Structure 1
Amino acid sequence: MLTSANVKPVSASAAHILGEVCREKQEAAIPLVRLFLHYGNILPFLSAVAHAEVNRTQDPNTIFRGNSLTSKCIDETMKLAGNHYLQVTLRCMIDEICTDHKPCEIDPVKLKESENLETNRENLRQYVDRIFNMITTSGVRCPTVMCDIFFSLRESAATRFEVDQDVSYTAVSSFIFLRFFAPAILSPNLFQLRPHHPDPATSRTLTLISKTIQTLGSLAKSKSASFKETYMAAFYDYFNEQKYGDAVKNFLDLISSSGRWNQKSIETPIMLKEGFMIKRAQGRNRFGMKNFKKRWFRLTNHEFTYHKTKGEGALCRIPIENILAVERLEEESFKMKNMFQVIQPERALYIQANNCVEARDWIDILTKVSQCNRKRLSTYHPSAYLNGHWLCCKMSADTEPGCTPCTGGLPANIQLDVDGDREAERIYCLFSTNMNKLVNMQEACGSRSVYDGPEQEEYSCFLIDDPRETYKTLRVIISSVQTLEQQHTKYKRDMFRKTKIGSQDHPIGDKSFQCYIHQQSESSTYSI
């Protein structure tokens, strides 16, 4: 199962076959995703099935729009790995909407007598604007596993449809907007954003917001026409500005490229963040407030620079690959708050942000863009090197390895607690339950291997790209399931024979044990 990504074609793999025989793709996706996440193999598998699906897609406008095994597996991955991401991005805004109960109905037919249409539109517009801004500025918090998946989707789509310039964006937006953020806004209780389903009025507000956010993220060429309702098309005119499309593309660039800045496919620098902060002058023997200068900092996907003022040439350039760690700096170092350090091979750059929120944002985004660097440090010095020694560990050599473990990345990269054995058992149960379909699929492979004509109608529901390879995999699956069933049956019989009725473990009158005896008796009678 875990080697499914290496099977050529991937449709002949055990994981893909499980998706073919299950009644609902979701049944297969849940244990598969959990198992692959547990063993760290989710990216190769999803890349393989996504690449195969993209190659089967004829129209770039329908890419990843169906309920395939690929889409269901990516949905489940986002739901598991992206839960914290949703919490920090949307929860405060969802709570505000559910608490304030501002009227946002923009359908004239449903408008109450006490409500004003223009006021409601303005309330809704403000909500959409704020949520849209929260989403498009949240790329730094997107979990690494999701970024890697989006990068793979983007590469596959761009390779398959070279003529369509937007397909590399729509391949990603079809998941992050249509299948992640929009559903979470629509039903926050299903994504642990709210404890209960919202009241009807709030639910209506969330529905209108979700529709608008979904359309904003779709990058459709004729967005107003995508609304069936006239009032929604009119409301969307508020957002028919280039800045919204640019914000979506910048966001998609960040989440589908993060950690892979050296790829040749990303040649244009992407502006990630900029603003004034205070830095400590480098190479000085004396340290004090005079050594701190206010500078304009600018971060792109290629480098981190600072300038004397905005618009002037860079005084210093730090390539992203040279950033070894980004950590907070203890206040005692310079008696200054909101400080952090960007550690390079030669020295550390000490920076003071304007406030704690800005410091956190800079640390997060600098960590995000550099977290895949090969030479990242595992330890650092939480205090500065002053007067010939490190203030934290008192070591005198400025090249001394760090004395404190690095924080290890963003809180969004949470390791999931998955029971691999339990998920493997679920997969076994699904195969066992669908044994008849496995046999039918095996017969379909044999039919296609012998005849070049059309498949029989009862076999047409199976996707079989390579009958020979698929047949080999099916034979192994069926044999493995049958072997496990025989071992389970043997184990139950052995336990039944060794059981002493009336013992402390199985006293007389134990209803569960009586049921167990009944089951064993039926099994023994059947086998005889």
Structure 2
Amino acid sequence: MMLIDETTTAESRQEVATNLVKLFLGQGLVKEFLDVLFKLELDNAGEPNTLFRSNSLASKSTESFLKLAGMQYLHRLLAPTINRIFEEKKYIELDPNKVELKEAGCAGLHRMQTEADVIQQSTTHLQSYLSELLHAITQSAPYCPLALCQAFRQLYQRVQERFPDKEYRKVKFIAVTSFLCLRFISPAIMSPKLFHLREKHADARTSRTLLLLAKAIQTIGNLDTLACCSREPWMVPLQPVILQGITHLKDFITRLVCCEDEEDLGLHTRMSLQCGTMEKEGFLCLHRTKDKCMLMTSHFKKYYVTLSKDTLSYTRTQHSKKSSFISLPKIRAVEKVEEKSFGSANVMQIISSEDSGQMETLYLDCKSVNELNQWLSALRKACSHNTDAMNSYHPGVYKGDKWSCCHQKDKTDAGCDKTRHGVTLQGWYDPLDPDLESQLIYRHLLGVRIAMRDKYLEMTKAEEGNGKDSMAGQEKLDGISRFFTVLQDLQDAHSAVEEAERSRNKNFLLELQT
């Protein structure tokens, strides 16, 4: 990890970190992986208050880990407050240099708002949003994912061991909040669309409110009561809530990292959030077909669709007791539909099999490409373990007497395009594929192996020059040597497969010629 960290460029570090996290998460070793990175970062730490503030491999990996393991937790924390802000669209501004004044009052009693009026109203609204959000965070221990709890506990303990002096008593808290608040919660508040909290980016007014709220969370995450609001004096009106938030956040972290009993942290609840199925619901327009021919004029009807652990169900109203459903194990494919089929680029199809063996297709028309991709991702992840998935499908519809995509006349034709069961949004909630991540990491290691070998030789000379012959130092060098041996073995294996493939192709061409 040390060699990878020091030889990976800033441009590729995030991608490498994400691949490593996915690899070790898929192998059940992410806690051990992050612990190695924490120790490496702490061994090289100079100023304790700047821990994990750089874009090191440790920082990037932990950031990716939070997104992979904690996105549902984040949504539960932020969604109520974020949705409220978008719906209320309050004008909020604390900076006197940016305040816009407007008329206030009833007809005939118009008066201009003063700067103090605007700031007072803004303070009230922001205090309400901030208090609501802080309450959600500090009460979230029962449903914080187990993997996150373990990682934060490990980080907290490592920092405490590295900086045990009383003067550094806050550093272990700041190490946790630097990830939880500064790299996870605040960025999601500022850009909720990027974290799939909203379908669209915020307008200018809402965006400013989100920015001010994110600033307040960052200030609380820094845990600095003395410097609170010193850089931006116009944030002072929020100081009482911020100071109270710092106290409550420290108490929350203490509970989170000191609770060894998994039952106390609500293991059952947390594990349900980590299951393979991403639960999702919302209104969509549906069209269902069995034996019928599809027509361009087919009408879609609005239904409330719910994806749960075992089924995809849909009802005419959100609270209707009468519903239709598809059992997830019966789903054979989940794919996009060509735009020309229905005149929309946001239609997807769910192909499932009935007990009789007959195939049925359900078409879903989404409001936007983001919603389409979210449903594709959620459904494919939910069906990732289905054993009878289709290998091919028709991206068009059967219209008249042929398929619109390939013009085949056989309605039961296998399909003209390859299904994409494991390819969704390429995001943090996609199904883990350790084999793919292994291959991606292998390719990266091949690209930097010369730089890593140079670094290894540099370390060896340094050990010899310092006259060090410690057991730990020798074990480290032996481990690196084994690493290069394994990398060479992998390269030889790849070369052998490629050579065998070339030989088969050559023999095939010779057979054709003869």
Normalising by the residue count of structure 2, what TM-score does the alignment of the two structures yield?
Answer: 0.60
Distance change (3 Å), C-alpha of 1:465 and 1:154: farther
Cα 1:128–1:482 change in 2 (3 A) is same
Name the aligned partner's letter for residue 433 of structure 1: G
Separation in 2, partners of 1:17, 1:452: 20
Whether 1:228 and 2:231 are equivalent positions in the alignment is yes
Asked if residue 414 in structure 1 is aligned to residue 275 in structure 2, the reply is yes
- Give 3-state SS (helix, strand or coil) of 1:411's partner: helix
Report what 2:65 is aligned to: 77
- Structure 1 partner of 2:38: 50
Question: Following the alignment from structure 2 to structure 1, what is the Cα–Cα distance between the partners of residues 219 and 212?
Answer: 11
Aligned residue number for residue 219 of structure 2: 215
Residue aligning to 2:444 = 430
Q: Quote how far apart the aligned CAs of 1:131 are.
A: 1.3
Confirm or deny that 1:18 pairs with 2:20: no
Structure-2 change in CA distance of 1:16 and 1:138 (3 Å): same
Contact 1:172–1:256 under 8 Å retained in 2: no
Match of 2:265 in 1: 369
| Contact residue 449 and residue 467 of structure 1 kept, 8 A | no
Output one character per residue of 1:464-518: Cα deviation in whole Å (capped at 9) or x when no partner. 9987346514532541353144134314313422445999xxxxxxxxxxxxxxx
Aligned to 1:176: 180
Q: Does the C-alpha gap of structure 1 residues 240 and 187 become closer, same or farther in structure 2, counting only changes over 3 Å? A: closer
Q: How far did 1:30 drift?
A: 0.9
In structure 2, the residue corresponding to 1:185 is in which secondary structure? helix
Q: Which amino acid aligns with 2:5?
A: G
Kindly indicate whether residue 29 of structure 2 is the aligned counterpart of residue 41 of structure 1.
yes
| Structure 2 unpaired stretches of 5+ | 103-112, 277-428, 468-472
- Residues 409/248 of structure 1: CA separation in 2 closer, same or farther (3 Å cut): closer
- Asked if structure 2 preserves the Cα contact closer than 8 Å seen for 1:154 and 1:172, the reply is yes
Distance of aligned partners of 1:99 and 1:370 in 2 relative to their CA distance in 1, 3 Å threshold: closer
Q: Percent identity?
A: 28
Distance across 2 between alignment mates of 1:96 and 1:408: 25
Partners of 1:178 and 1:41 in 2: CA distance: 25
With the length of structure 1 as denominator, give the TM-score of the two structures: 0.58
Q: 1:368 to 1:499 in 2, by over 3 A?
A: farther
Shift of 1:201: 2.0
Contact 2:159 2:171 survives alignment (8 Å): yes
| CA distance in 2: counterparts of 1:86 and 1:178, whole angstroms | 13
User: Amino acid of the residue matched to residue 432 of structure 1?
Assistant: L
In the TM superposition, 1:260-279 aligns within 5 A as 260-261=260-261
Q: Per-residue CA shift, 1:443-479, capped at 9, x if unaligned?
A: 42454355459xxxxxxxxxx9987346514532541
C-alpha RMSD of matched pairs (Å)? 2.8
Report the equivalent of 2:251: 250
Contact 1:368–1:409 under 8 Å retained in 2: no
Q: SS where residue 189 of structure 1 aligns?
A: coil
1:164-190: CA deviation from partner (whole Å, max 9, x where unpaired): 222232221121111111111111122
Are 1:156 and 2:169 counterparts? Answer: no
Alignment of 1:293-304 (within 5 A): none
Give 1:87-486 correspondences, 5 Å limit: 87-114=75-102, 116-163=118-165, 164-225=168-229, 227-232=230-235, 234-239=236-241, 241=243, 243-258=244-259, 260-261=260-261, 367-369=263-265, 371=267, 410-415=271-276, 417-452=431-466, 468-469=477-478, 471-486=480-495
Counterparts in 2 of 1:140 and 1:132: CA distance versus 1, 3 Å? same
For 2:4 and 2:503, the matched residues in 1 are separated by 31
Cα distance in 2, alignment partners of residues 167 and 82 from structure 1: 23
Structure 1 position 76, deviation (Å): 0.8
Q: How many Å apart are 1:31 and its aligned residue?
A: 1.0
Residue 482 and residue 107 in structure 1: after superposition, are their counterparts in 2 closer, same or farther (change >3 A)?
same
User: Using the alignment, how far apart are the partners of 2:494 and 2:226 within structure 1?
Assistant: 56
The residue number in structure 2 matching 1:489 is 498
Please report how far the alpha carbon of residue 236 of structure 1 lies from its aligned counterpart in structure 2 after TM superposition. Answer: 3.2
> Equivalents in 2 of 1:469, 1:209: separation in Å?
50
Aligned pairs, number: 336
Letter of the structure 1 residue corresponding to residue 232 of structure 2: E
Letter in structure 2 aligned against 1:145:
A
Residue 156 of structure 1 aligns with an amino acid whose one-letter code is R
Contact 1:157–1:171 (8 Å) recurs in 2: yes
Corresponding letter in the other structure for 2:254: D
Assess, with a 3 A threshold, how the Cα gap between structure 1 residues 488 and 141 changes in structure 2: closer, same or farther: same
Query: How far did 1:86 drift?
Result: 0.9
1:30 alignment counterpart: 18
**2:222 is matched by which residue type in structure 1?**
S
CA contact (8 A) 1:140 1:255 kept: no
Quick one: structure 1 residues 414 and 235, their matched pair in 2 at CA, closer, same or farther if it must change by over 3 Å? Answer: farther
What is the alpha-carbon distance in structure 2 between the residues aligned to residue 139 and residue 410 of structure 1?
Answer: 13
What per-residue deviation string (whole Å, max 9, x for no partner) do you get for residues 71-122 of structure 1? 1111111111001101111112212212221111111111112262221222
Q: Which amino acid aligns with 1:140?
A: P
Cα 1:16/1:477, change in 2 over 3 Å = farther
AA in 2 matched with 1:214:
Q
Output the amino acid matched with 1:67: N
Shift of 1:130: 1.3
Q: Which secondary structure does the structure 1 equivalent of 2:273 belong to?
A: coil
Cα–Cα, structure 1 residues 446 and 168, in superposed 2: closer, same or farther, change >3 Å? closer
Q: Which amino acid letter does the alignment assign opposite residue 32 of structure 1?
A: L
Q: CA contact under 8 A between 1:224 and 1:236: conserved in structure 2?
A: no
CA contact under 8 A between 1:173 and 1:217: conserved in structure 2? yes
Indicate conservation of the 8 Å contact 2:17/2:57, yes or no.
yes
- Letter in structure 2 aligned against 1:194: R
SS at match of 2:22: helix
- Structure 1 pair 449–479 and aligned structure 2 pair: CA distance change class (3 A): farther
Is the contact between residue 2 and residue 40 of structure 2 (CA under 8 Å) also seen in structure 1?
Answer: no
Give 1:252 deviation, angstroms: 0.7
Letter in 2 for 1:162: P
Amino acid at match of 2:8: C
- 1:239-261 CA-to-partner distances (Å, cap 9, x unmatched) read 254x4333112211232233x14
The 1:485–1:18 alpha-carbon spacing in structure 2 relative to 1, beyond 3 Å, is farther
Q: Is the CA contact 1:442–1:474 (under 8 Å) kept in the aligned structure 2?
A: no
Specify which of 30, 36, 47 is matched with residue 59 of structure 1.
47
SS in 2 for 1:237: helix
Aligned to 1:520: none
